[in-house]
Amino acid sequence: DAGVTQSPTHLIKTRGQQVTLRCSPKSGHDTVSWYQQALGQGPQFIFQYYEEEERQRGNFPDRFSGHQFPNYSSELNVNALLLGDSALYLCASDGYQETQYFGPGTRLLVL
Amino acid sequence: GNSVTQMEGPVTLSEEAFLTINCTYTATGYPSLFWYVQYPGEGLQLLLKATKADDKGSNKGFEATYRKETTSFHLEKGSVQVSDSAVYFCALSDRGAGGFKTIFGAGTRLFVKA
C-alpha cells in the first residue's frame, strides 16, 4: 500500500520565479492538504483540496495556489517566489479518525 | 482559535532515561490529539493518537493520555534509545468547512546520548 508521495524531493529557485510541487495521496484517500514548514518551526496549513475544489485555506497570500486532479493527486503552485518561501513543503491526505498522513516533503530553497 | 503549546527544547537525555515532553492545547469541542515524529531530513510520521478524553495512545514504547480536565497530552517513554533522537510535534485536529486540518505545536527536539 503506497503512502503519500511527493515530487521533487529538492528544488532550488531564484527570487521571482514560479514553482510547482506535486503530491499523490495515500491509496483510498480523496482529500489532500498542503503545509509549509519553515526551518525550526511546526508545519503551517496552506490549503486543502477535496473533489477538485479548495475547501479550506490558511493564512497564505494568493501567490500560493493549488489544483486537484480527478485521480485525487494535487499540485501546489507558488508564484513570484520570495526568500521567505524557502521551506519544507508537506502534503498530507486524510484518513480515519481525523488523522492526516504525510509525505516526505519537498525542500524548496529560494536564492 | 485552536492552538497547541509544547515544551521548548532541546531535550538532552542519556540512553535508558525516562522521557516526558509536555503538551497542552486550547480547543473548542473535542479534537483528536496526535504526536508526530520527524527524523532528520525526513517528513512527519504519525507516532500515536487519541480521539477522546481519557484515551491512551501508544506506539513503540511511547504513550500519551488525552486529559480533558487539564487540556494536556504529554508524551512519555520509560527508556529512550539513541534512535529516538528526532523532533516531536504535538498536534490536534481542527474541524471547519466540511473538513479538518492539523494544528501543530512548535516541536521539541530530543537528543539521546549513548
Using the CB atoms, write b or e for A28-44: b if 16+ within 10 Å: ebebbbbbbbeeeebbb
A:B CB pairs within 8 Å: 67
Residue B8 to residue B70: CA distance in whole angstroms: 19
Give the per-residue pLDDT at A2.
74
Query: For A42-46, A69-73, B25-29, which range has the lowest pLDDT when averaged over its residues?
Result: B25-29
Q: What percent of chain B has pLDDT over 90?
A: 85
Rounded to a whole number of angstroms, the distance from the CA of B111 to the nearest CA of chain A is 15
Average pLDDT on B67-95 reads: 96
Cell of B103: 494544528
Q: Quick one: DSSP state of residue A9?
A: S
Q: Is A104 in contact with B36 (Cβ distance < 8 A)?
A: no
A1-11: average pLDDT: 91
Q: Which residue of B has its CA nearest to A55?
A: B97
pLDDT bracket for residue A1 (50, 70, 90): low
Q: What is the pLDDT of residues A7-46, one digit of tens each?
A: 999 999 999 999 999 999 999 899 999 999 999 999 999 9
Determine the pLDDT at residue B32.
94
Average pLDDT, chain B: 95
Quick check: B97 and A55 CB within 8 A? Answer: yes
Tell whether the model's pLDDT for residue A97 goes beyond 90: no
Assign A92 a pLDDT band (cuts: 50, 70, 90): very high
A31, A94 contact by CB (below 8 A): yes
pLDDT above 70 (res B65) = yes
Judge whether residue B91 has pLDDT over 90.
Answer: yes
CB-based contact A56 B97, cutoff 8 Å: yes
Q: What is the pLDDT, as a whole number, of residue B99?
A: 86
The predicted-structure confidence for B98-109, as pLDDT tens digits, reads as follows 788 999 999 999
Backbone angles phi, psi at B56, to 5 degrees: -115, 125
Does the CB of A102 have a partner CB in chain B at under 8 Å? yes
On chain A, the residues whose CB falls within 8 A of the CB of B89 are: 42-43
* Range 49-78 of A in CB contact (< 8 A) with B: 50, 55-56, 58
Chain B: closest CA distance from residue A109 (Å): 14
